[in-house]
Amino acid sequence: MEWLTGLLERIDRDQWLVAVAVLAATVMVLRTVQWLVGRQLSRLVEKTDTKWDDHFVRAIGKTKFLFLCALGLYAASLTLELKAPSATFMNRFVVISLIVQGGLWLGVVLRALIESHREDAKENDPARLSTISMIGFLLRVVLWATVLLLVLDNLGIDITALVAGLGIGGVAVALAVQNILGDLFASLSIVLDKPFVVGDFLMVGDFLGSVEHVGLKTTRLRSLSGEQLVFSNNDLLTSRIRNFGRMAERRVVFKLGVTYQTPREKLRRIPELIREAIEAQDATRFDRSHFSAYGDFSLNFETVYYVLSADYNEYMDIQQAIHFQVHEAFEEEGIEFAYPTQTVFVAGGSESDEE
């Protein structure tokens, strides 16, 4: 404290009075401007639909009185002839105050972004809420860790070794919890890339189910038989996923066979009969129907059409209606469906009776 004592001895009383007056005036003016601007903007933002101006007003409200005092002290110091130690201390004090206040302002913006995503998730994908909260927490940690390092650096502390130590410690922690981190980053990939969302029907390997929840570590599906299927996010993303929830239309292939005794004229009629049955249904698009092969016991026809809906129940209803209509048309035309049969030909011979 020797420099402070020397400073008091070298600066006369008038200079101190001027400095105190500048300090008080600067703080009062800044405080008044903050209050007036915040009050006027609060009235204006109530008339707008966007929320970003609300966040701007909230950021102004986060301006701390200590920061205003730091600005006042800096303005007051300009009226004094401060020596090197005092000037250095004043500059560091102002810079540190600005860094901390900047962290508060950025915190308001960050919180606004997180809240915006949370509101969207509540309406469209509630399963994302936990992930968004975790992302917000990590971003806040990064923000204030950066503020702390900048403050230490301005205090003259060498943070190079500290940053290196944090890096080595981070690597060690990452190796220890790599499985958890893998699932966490996989969860972020699911949230950002959206390969599937809650409600989609997935096929993962031999497992089928609709997505119920996407968490930080696991994703849960409800199978058709009722049980819950739990997959780690990392394993899920490294698997081959079939997402039926993104299906725009369903391609259907079905085959039927008729007996070999069916006349050629009726065979030529079969593709047309099938086409009429398909086009009689709504939400279908006929593709083709052909006499495809000679089977072991039947003449085989292959048909392809599209159901213009991803709903499985609707697809089954359409398929059933087509089958009924084809069956009725074949019955009217006298065309018989084939089923596995064998025809055995027995060669007859003459026998002479000996007496």
Highest mean pLDDT range out of 53-57, 98-102, 107-111, 199-203?
A: 199-203
Task: Please report, rounded to a whole number, the percentage of residues in the chain having pLDDT higher than 90.
Answer: 23
* CA-CA-CA-CA torsion sign (32, 33, 36, 41): negative
Q: Could you tell me the residue range of the domain that residue 84 belongs to?
A: 2-154
pTM: 0.51
Q: Is residue 182 part of a domain?
A: no
Q: Is residue 326 domain-shared with residue 279, that is, in the same domain?
A: yes
The yes-or-no verdict on residue 78 having pLDDT over 80 is no
Q: Which residue has the higher pLDDT, 64 or 302?
A: 302
pLDDT score recorded for residue 273? 95
CA distance 169 to 315: 56
Q: Is residue 241 domain-shared with residue 254, that is, in the same domain?
A: no
Q: Which helix (H) or strand (E) holds 19?
A: helix 13-45
Q: Is residue 16 domain-shared with residue 93, that is, in the same domain?
A: yes
Look up the CATH number of the domain holding residue 303.
3.30.70.100
The mean per-residue pLDDT over the stretch 35-39 comes to: 70
Q: Is residue 12 domain-shared with residue 150, that is, in the same domain?
A: yes
Q: Is residue 184 part of a domain?
A: no
Phi, psi (degrees; rounded to nearest 5) at 38 = -65, -40
CA distance 64 to 56: 15
Q: Angle, to 10 degrees, between the axis of helix 84-124 and the axis of helix 2-10?
A: 110
Q: Is residue 222 domain-shared with residue 268, that is, in the same domain?
A: no
Q: Is residue 219 domain-shared with residue 284, that is, in the same domain?
A: no
Which tokens hold the place of 28? 């009062």
* Structural domains counted in the chain: 3
Q: Angle, to 10 degrees, between the axis of helix 312-333 and the axis of helix 264-279?
A: 150
- For 244-280, the pLDDT digits (tens) are 888 888 999 999 999 999 999 999 999 999 999 999 9
